[in-house]
Copies of this chain bind each other. A is one copy, B any other.
């Protein structure tokens, strides 16, 4: 049934948008229902509880971010050096979206990480994946592993500062810093 699939997509899209804008706990199931047009009954047979919906939203976003990042790297950059730097261009485009209010995993961990082991684990895995992506590039450069950690710190710091200040500048600042680190460690 493509009917069930499109309903599921509408719910996930709507929930993601509302969670991003207001946080998870400030968004009721009823708000998701009216914004998505999917009835409560259907909503609960797709996602038996709000917790499960939250986890599904985060997991889907995790996949989307990983593939978007990888695609951007392959599309715009040749070689590990350029691919590592291209992450920050990808961040810049993300920060420039008008609804941008920070990273859903950082925000979700802050809100729910202390009470939901599932959310904490998903956030941890997601951040580990970003570090692993940087590690792929630094490995290919023969650089030490700590460089990947440091690039990940710059990227996450840029997400936080861009989210809180509402500016996209941190992406470019982080990119310049990343270039210095990449050049120094060679």
Contact = CB atoms under 8 A, between A and B. Distances in A.
A146 B181 CA distance: 15
Interface stretch (A35-43, A49-57, A150-158): A150-158
Contacts of A105: 164
Given A23-B111, A26-B114, A115-B23, A173 B161 contact: no
A82 interface: no
Interface in A18-41: 20-23, 25-26
A174 B160 CA distance: 15
A110 B155 contact: no
Interface string A109-150: 111111100001001100110000000000000000010011
A177 B181 contact: yes
A66 to B, nearest CB: 16
A22 B111 CA distance: 8
Interface centre among A160, A163, A181 (most CB of B within 10 A): A160
Contact of A112 (B23, B146, B152, B153): B23
Interface residues of A, number: 49
A158 to B, nearest CB: 5
Contact of A169 (B113, B128, B149, B181): B149
Contacts of A165: 124, 127-128
B110 A26 contact: no
26 contacts: A20-B114, A21-B114, A23-B112, A23-B113, A101-B114, A106-B106, A110-B110, A113-B163, A127-B164, A146-B173, A146-B176, A149-B161, A149-B169, A152-B157, A153-B153, A153-B170, A153-B173, A153-B177, A154-B157, A155-B157, A156-B157, A157-B157, A157-B158, A157-B160, A159-B160, A177-B177
Given A23-B114, A102-B110, A153-B170, 19 more contacts: A21-B114, A23-B111, A23-B112, A25-B26, A25-B111, A107-B110, A109-B110, A110-B163, A146-B173, A149-B161, A149-B169, A149-B170, A150-B176, A152-B157, A152-B161, A155-B157, A157-B157, A157-B160, A177-B177
